[in-house]
Amino acid sequence: MKGGTKAQWQMNNFREAVEDCNLFDFPFEGYEFTWHNGQAGEANRQSRIDRAMCTEEWRERFLYARLKQLEREWSDHAPLKLYLDRRTGGGGQASQKFRFEQVWIGKEGCEAAVIRGVNRGGEDIMDVLDACATELQSWKKISIRKIMKAIDNKRRQIARLNSGGRTVEEVHKRRKLVREVADLCRQEEQFWRQRSRAQWLKEGDRNTSYFHRQAGQRKAKNHIAKLVDDEGTVRVGNEVVSQVATAYFVDLFQASPAREFREVLMGMEGRVTDDMNTMLRRAYREEEVLEALNQIHPLKASGPDGMNGLFYHTYWHVVGPLW
- Per-residue pLDDT at 233: 79
Beta strands in the chain (DSSP E): 24-26, 28-29, 35-36, 46-47, 52-54, 66-69, 80-83, 226-228, 234-236
Per-residue pLDDT tens listing for the chain (323 residues): 444 556 788 888 888 998 899 888 888 887 788 888 878 778 878 888 888 888 888 877 787 788 888 877 668 888 888 888 655 544 444 456 788 888 788 777 888 889 998 888 888 888 888 888 888 888 776 566 777 788 888 888 888 777 766 678 888 888 888 888 888 887 777 666 656 554 544 544 455 555 555 555 555 666 677 788 888 877 777 778 888 888 888 888 876 666 667 777 777 788 888 899 998 898 888 788 888 888 888 877 677 788 888 888 888 888 888 76
Buried b (16+ CB within 10 A) or exposed e, 119-152: eebeeeeeebbbbbbbbbeebbebeeeebeebbe
CA atoms of 190 and 205, how far apart (whole Å): 11
- Per-residue pLDDT at 276: 92
What is the reported pTM? 0.42
- Per-residue pLDDT at 209: 55
- Per-residue pLDDT at 36: 80
Question: What secondary structure does DSSP assign to 4-34, as a single string?
Answer: PPPPHHHHHHHHHHHHHTT-EEE-EES-S--
